[in-house]
Structure 1
């Protein structure tokens, strides 16, 4: 049986193409590229949901709270060799009223809950890699997406990596800061384009090989 790597995220894990509002094909999405580059020993499982948050309910959209789904997700795919979490972009929405510090707290809580759920079934600890997503570009404010996202999303997004790193340091959770090397598109400034997916897949591959070595 192949070892499973679960990628738990939002529209940037699902593969939303902001130009067409449809899904990038599998061979473009960073998860699909990761699968291509890993050996047949591993199976990459996509658990991306557009609009997903880490720990907050969205009053406008149902089923978006990651903390409510992480346990059944982990148990349905168990045993899991590695869980990759890349969330935080949707949590910056003004209507949630969260600070970057709060968002980092929520993502860390989510990671720990996943570990606890896995250990209920298997003695082997679940390896978790938390990725700070690419930053929301400040020009998002000039696009239509600002109407739903609200203000200061770019500021929270830029502050998130530092808080995330602080929370997971000296824990058994691995960390990767994608915000320094991967940029969002120039359409809505908060989704990956084809090149962004390629860049992210290369970063994640290096980290995954380190974590699983």
Structure 2
């Protein structure tokens, strides 16, 4: 059986776009939906943290949200791995963090290097990497959330650039690529997070790419 690490932020965690709403049920979180779609051929380890960035610090956070700093620990904890699926970058768009999809793509490049360097340095089999461009942000009446991400024009415009920048990194670094915006869209409740159906749709949408990469 193959082992897959799903590394992400609140979209992987299953955050509810309704303010104060409950976390999505297990079966609606995309890593679980992916595992179900793989029909017993792989187990998917879900590692999602709200506010997680690619490789940038958030000094206001109670937990370490820098993905680059925690990733080696998770790789060691869940080894051996056949595939690491990385869907990060939305939080990078906050002006206080990074601000652009281009620099988020540089963070994804660094995470790819970390995966390969970690296992290569140990002389162990290096898992494949799948870079996932997050869904686009959308307009919302949630003024606090929109302000947190630099305003509607900024976050929507930058999020629409994820795919082109991530696709280029995937080509340059010979990783897999999937555009989550092709199957899922953010809820207008807060403009960032997904309802249960759209969260689940990411796992179902990624499944054919994962099957192809792992020969399932």
Residues 52-100 of structure 1: per-residue CA shift (max 9 Å, x gap):
0001100211400000001111011111011000001100001124322
Contact 1:161 1:177 in 2 (8 A): yes
- For 1:181, the equivalent position in structure 2 comes to 183
Distance 2:92 2:65 in 1: 10
Structure 1 counterpart SS, 2:26: coil
Q: Structure 1 regions of 5+ residues with no counterpart?
A: none
Distance 1:122 1:18 in 2: 42
- For 1:17, the equivalent position in structure 2 comes to 16
4+ runs deviating over 4 angstroms:
none
Q: TM (normalized to structure 1)?
A: 0.92
Contact 2:141 2:188 in 1 (8 A): no
Give the drift of 1:171: 2.4
User: How many residues are matched?
Assistant: 211
Structure 1 counterpart SS, 2:96: helix
Give the drift of 1:144: 2.6
Larger CA deviation: 79-88 vs 92-101: 92-101
- For 1:128, the equivalent position in structure 2 comes to 129
- For 1:52, the equivalent position in structure 2 comes to 52
- For 1:191, the equivalent position in structure 2 comes to 193
Distance 1:52 1:98 in 2: 14
Is residue 29 of structure 1 aligned with residue 29 of structure 2? yes
Contact 2:183 2:198 in 1 (8 A): no
Distance 2:37 2:169 in 1: 30
- For 1:73, the equivalent position in structure 2 comes to 74
